[in-house]
């Protein structure tokens, strides 16, 4: 990999030490010294333009990536050519964990807007994790948390109505923005309606109609990509008050 692909403008080259995302990202819980060691293996790459891909499905796994600013979507293409979005990644989030097992990326990742990325070469990271206990732990923690949110998401897809899915999605985004110090009250969607539909397992038209309805009901205000959550508590209500539970009774079976 040519070093000319790395640039050094100060906003981008800022070390993990000084990065405001530290508390969300891999360095979390590491000592100052250990963060410095981690920092030494991190490559800070030239920002990706909208639509540019970070890696493609089938690529050999070499590094994990952390989003520094901007946003990324990950999707897989089935053999019949359909694409399914698996995740939207915000600053501080790690990509590529699902490739560790097989050594091959099972999905593609593209920037949804101008996005800068930190690259974490995995073999070096792995070696370092061997020496730095907190790093090993943090890697496991991050993966575990991801398993968790996948499970939650599976539950959402398995038995929630379109309304509940979209409401949950918006609230989830809101809280993630807030964690990062942005407003969860008002924000811009970096993804299209069709991306949202694809991600939530809904038709575009359904998403569009729901936005309209949520607005009519005074839950949100929508202007194109700009969303304002007007009545967040009522919206939370939508996520729990699910339809008459048809679920079986997991006791034994």
Partner DNA sequence: CGAGGTCTTGATATAACTCAATTTGAGTGG
Partner DNA sequence: CCACTCAAATTGAGTTATATCAAGACCTCG
Q: Which residues in the 158-187 window bind DNA by CB under 7 A? A: 161-163
**What would the two tokens of residue 12 be?**
């981008």
Among residues 18, 23, 151, 178, the one that binds a copy of itself under rule CB under 8 A: 151
Angle at which helices 162-179 and 232-240 cross, to 10°: 130
Residues 199-218 that bind DNA (CB under 7 A): 201-209, 211-212
240 binds DNA (CB under 7 A): no
Phi then psi dihedrals of residue 239, to 5 deg: -80, -25
Q: Shortest distance, CB of residue 138 to DNA, whole angstroms?
A: 36
Rg (CA), the chain: 19
Q: Shortest distance, CB of residue 209 to DNA, whole angstroms?
A: 5
What CA–CA distance (Å, rounded) separates 114 from 96?
19
Q: Shortest distance, CB of residue 116 to a copy of itself, whole angstroms?
A: 16
Task: Give the contacts of 58 (CB within 8 A, at least 6 positions apart).
Answer: 104, 105
Residues 63-92 that bind a copy of itself (CB under 8 A): 73, 75-76, 78-86
What CA–CA distance (Å, rounded) separates 252 from 107?
35
Number of Cβ within 10 Å of residue 106's Cβ equals 16
Identify which of residues 11 and 192 has a Cβ nearer to DNA in the complex: 192
End-to-end CA gap in the chain: 54
Beta-bridged to residue 53, according to DSSP, are 110
Q: Which does 106 bind (CB under 5 to 8 A by kind): DNA, a copy of itself, none?
A: a copy of itself
- Interface region with DNA, contact rule CB under 7 A, candidates 31-39, 53-61, 95-103, 156-164: 156-164
Residues that bind DNA (CB under 7 A): 161-163, 192-194, 201-209, 211-212, 222, 224-225, 243-244, 246, 249, 251, 253
């Amino acid at each position: 990999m040519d070093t000319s692909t790395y640039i050094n403008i100060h906003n981008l080259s800022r070390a993990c030490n000084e990065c405001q995302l530290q508390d969300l990202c891999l360095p979390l819980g590491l000592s100052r010294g250990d963060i410095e060691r981690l920092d030494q293996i991190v490559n800070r790459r030239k920002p990706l333009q909208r639509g540019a891909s970070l890696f493609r499905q089938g690529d050999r796994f070499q590094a994990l990536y952390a989003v520094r600013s901007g946003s990324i979507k990950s999707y897989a293409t089935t053999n019949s050519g359909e694409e399914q979005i698996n995740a939207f990644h915000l600053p501080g989030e790690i990509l590529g964990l699902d490739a560790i097992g097989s050594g091959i990326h099972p999905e593609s990742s593209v920037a949804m807007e101008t996005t800068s990325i930190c690259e974490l070469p995995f073999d070096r990271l792995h070696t370092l994790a061997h020496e730095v206990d907190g790093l090993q732990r943090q890697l496991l923690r991050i993966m575990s948390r991801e398993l968790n949110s996948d499970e939650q998401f599976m539950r959402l897809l398995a038995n929630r109505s379109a309304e509940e899915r979209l409401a949950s999605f918006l609230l989830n985004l809101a809280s993630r923005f807030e964690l990062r110090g942005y407003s969860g009250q008002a924000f811009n969607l970096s993804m299209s309606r069709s991306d949202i539909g694809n991600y939530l397992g809904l038709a575009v038209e359904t998403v569009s109609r729901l936005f309209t309805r949520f607005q009519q009901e005074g839950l949100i205000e929508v202007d194109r990509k700009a969303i304002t959550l007007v009545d967040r508590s009522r919206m939370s209500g939508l996520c729990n008050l699910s339809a008459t539970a048809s679920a079986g009774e997991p006791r034994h079976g």
